[in-house]
Amino acid sequence: TTTPRVPLLPYVLLGLASTVMSQEPDAEEEWAAVERRGAHLVTGAAERPFIIHGFNTYWLMSFAADEATRPRVTAAIAEAAGAGLNVCRTWAFADGGYHALQTAPFCYDEEVFQALDFVVSEARRYKMRLILSLCNNWEDYGGKAQYVRWGKEAGVDLTSDDDFFSDPTLKGYYKAFVEAVLSRINTITNEAYKDDPTILAWELINEPRCPSDPSGDTLQAWIEEMASYVKSIDTMHLVEIGIEGYYGPSTPELLLVNPDDYSGHVGTDFIRNHQAMGIDLASVHIYSDTWLPDSTEESHVQFVNTWMQQHIDDAANLLAMPIVIGEFGLSLKDGKFENEFRETFMQTVYNNFLGSWESGMIGGGCLLWQLFPEGAEHMDDGYAVIFAKSPSTFNLLANHSRKLEC
């Protein structure tokens, strides 16, 4: 059975209801996997350029696990499609706790897996690609701290959450979970995740850091091992790391591009990390509002320009891979910024990518953090864009879509 369609109030208000149509792709050619060609993405036998114009809504699986909130999943995907967005990044993990997908090592909740099935099938219905993240560096939804707790409960001698990246037992837990997700047969579409072109890419872990080893060796070894492991199961899909993009010890001349001194010593290394075999996309995040808390609006714009252009240049010229700004946003929570500047910030990100893409230099794209439908305001961390309450932001996103001809 399918969930009844949700009235799309923002589109009625904006006179755009007709733009949102749920439509099953009617030919394999139309819904072929997205592939990498050097620093660009293509899809289909004709290798049409594919540009990511995306958004984050991390809680889709959790909301789909509850009948009361499941309609918000459809609304989130449908509203984004109505603005011309074509990729959603969301969590494919929930380690322990409420609505856990992984209730314990090697144990997975079938009802929550069916919720993820629903997310994937709804994305396909609206022609929305997915970037699915497989773990979290942070404690939200479990993450590496939960793996460490499980290890300790099993009697493993662990001293730090960073042991997640090096301990063989914990790496075994993670690999088993990865295999369970990638090999999952969707109960709605009857297609294995690893064969479903709805999925654009797997993300190894959201915002990994390993400050206990600032040399970067520990995290590098983990990235190499896990990228290879994912590719051993799934040769079709692209893989990204999920790092924030901080430069590290392999490029000391670029440490000054980082927002502060600390960020160059958290165990990540933008260039070296992306030279690992099996990594297809260069992942970067942009949060100048938290990275540079005391800066002026002009300083934020300048930082975005410098941060993006350096990473775009390096992704194109050193790494020869597409760039994915996996998260970017500006919080309105503390009242420091108004929506007008948030839109200026967003436009700055889009303009930087657009200029480089139009010149033929690089492909990939950008994903806003984050997009919510009405009825999910309680999940807002200050970054949420709700179309019904911000028609101007809807128009900004729709205009960018037209420029990209997504």
Which domains does the chain possess? 38-405 (3.20.20.80)
Helix axis angle for 143-153 and 168-182, nearest 10°, is: 120
End-to-end CA gap in the chain: 31
pLDDT tens-digit series, residues 75-117: 999 999 999 999 999 999 999 999 999 999 999 999 999 999 9
The residue annotated as part of the active site, out of 35, 79, 244, 327, is 327
Helix/strand/coil for 114:
helix
Distance CA 73, CA 362 (A): 32
* Dihedral (CA of 241, 244, 248, 252) sign: positive
Q: What percent of the chain has pLDDT over 90?
A: 90
Q: What is the pLDDT of residue 295?
A: 86
Helix/strand/coil for 169:
helix
Q: What is the pLDDT of residue 335?
A: 87
| Residue entry with tokens 């070296």 | 272
Q: What is the pLDDT of residue 406?
A: 47
Summary mean pLDDT of the chain = 93
Q: Are the beta carbons of 313 and 257 closer than 8 angstroms?
A: no
Q: Is 203 a catalytic residue?
A: no
Q: Which residue has the higher pLDDT, 374 or 29?
A: 374
CA 404 to chain centre: 20
The residue annotated as part of the active site, out of 35, 203, 207, 343, is 207
pLDDT tens-digit series, residues 251-287: 999 999 999 999 999 999 999 999 999 999 999 999 9
Q: What's the whole-model pTM score?
A: 0.93
Q: What is the pLDDT of residue 30?
A: 77
Q: What would the mean pLDDT of 225-243 be, rounded to a whole number?
A: 98
- In this predicted structure, the answer to whether residue 229 has a pLDDT above a threshold of 50 is yes
Helix axis angle for 217-233 and 168-182, nearest 10°, is: 30
Q: Is 327 a catalytic residue?
A: yes
Cβ burial 371-390 (10 Å sphere, 16+ → b, else e) = bbbbbbeebeeebbbbbbeb
| DSSP letter assigned to residue 106 | T
Q: What is the pLDDT of residue 12?
A: 34
- In this predicted structure, the answer to whether residue 11 has a pLDDT above a threshold of 50 is no
pLDDT band for position 16 (cuts 50, 70, 90): very low
Partners of 89 in beta bridges: 56, 131
Enter the tokens of residue 239.
């893989």
| CA dihedral of 308, 313, 314, 320, whole degrees rounded to 10 | 120
Q: What would the mean pLDDT of 141-161 be, rounded to a whole number?
A: 98
How would you class 127 by CB atoms within 10 Å of its CB: exposed for 0-12, middle for 13-18, buried for 19 or more?
A: middle
